Amino acid sequence: MTGELNDKVAIITGAASGIGRASSLLFAQEGAKLVIADVSDGLQETAQMVRDTGGDVTAIQCDAGIENDVGKLVDAAVSQYGGLHAAFANAGIGGSFAGIFDHTVEDWQEVLRVNLIGPWLMVKHAGKYMADNGGGSIICTASVAGIRSGAGGPAYSASKAGVMNLVKVGAQQMATSNVRVNGICPGIIETGMTAPIYSMAREKGKEDKIGQLNPLRRGGEPIEIAQMALFLASDRASYVNGQSIAVDGGLSSSHPVTRQPFGQTAV
């Protein structure tokens, strides 16, 4: 490891598993002091894994879509470690794959609350602290589903498109503050959210079909997203701002999808 985040403090949400856990371990290995968060009990397991590798971590079980909770994460970073240099707003939920006519308002509200309002709250609270204290990097997890249709349910796709625009607006509104705001658009990655897809494929002996629509012909690993988050959090990305970078094996270069006639459900 090269110590890319030595002397830096970072917040990571959605840290109980998947991309958040991989990022927590990688950031700690690169020298960051961490405040990690999730609603799941798996958060404490991630914290112990970080400690077992010699990392310094504070774990706070909270909801990344609630303003007071996000504010507490920023306060914890400052009080525990004396500052905040990077924030990875990674927490998210998948929502329903039901057709656009079959969703309820409640479905949409919950997906937007976690997936879009959550990252905005991180931009608001972490961004304000960073802007007042010399700058920093905010990273938001978007998705290839936000780039164009065919990679997620209606509410999920809309929420991730919103994240992609949020990082542009955030970058512009914090111009001259030395705060960078960027997004990552993962393709299909084996995480808690995609576990049912992977489990079904394995049960049917079709695991080799996962990711078959992208040029690399495979799904991705959480560490491959964590590596991009590390880059964006580090000084190596000092001239990267307002961007949403796809890490998807090339899927978004085409997004092939089987289209069903109106009124029919894909099988």
Plot region of 6 (φ>0 → left; ψ -120 to 50 → alpha; else → beta): beta
Q: Is 81 among the catalytic positions? A: no
Catalytic residue among 129, 156, 198, 239: 156
CB-based contacts of 63: which residues, under 8 Å, 6+ apart?
39, 69, 114
Closest among 206, 218, 208 to 249, alpha carbons compared: 218
Q: How far is CA 224 from CA 70, 131, 188, 229, 262, in A?
A: 26, 29, 11, 9, 37
Report the distance separating Cα 125 and Cα 130, nearest Å.
9
Q: Taken in order 93, 99, 103, 109, is the CA torsion positive or negative?
A: positive
Cβ contact 137:4 at 8 Å: no
Q: Which residues are designated catalytic?
A: 156
